[in-house]
Homo-oligomer: A and B are copies of this chain.
């Protein structure tokens, strides 16, 4: 089906929480190397795994994953502030 690459913010979110890949892996129930593969965007998570990550970070899927390259969160925040002023 020629899969598109999905971009994600997993490593940023994980580092914000100050946890290691191993800890995150345990929380979401996968091998720690799998977290590595996901952070390096070497392959896409399954929908179920995407939901587990979303549940762990308490953020909707669309905020963590995107079909388009993700800007740094800091920049997104800046744009939001611009819009509301």
Contacts and interface: CB of A to CB of B under 8 A. Distances in A.
Interface residues of A, number: 20
Contacts of A46: 3, 44, 46-47
B49 A65 contact: no
Nearest to A49: B1
A19 to B, nearest CB: 20
Interface of A: 1, 3-4, 6, 29-30, 44-51, 55, 60-62, 65, 67
What is the total number of copies of this protein in its complex? 2
Contact of A62 (B3, B45, B61, B67): B61
Contacts of A67: 48, 51, 55
Nearest to A55: B67
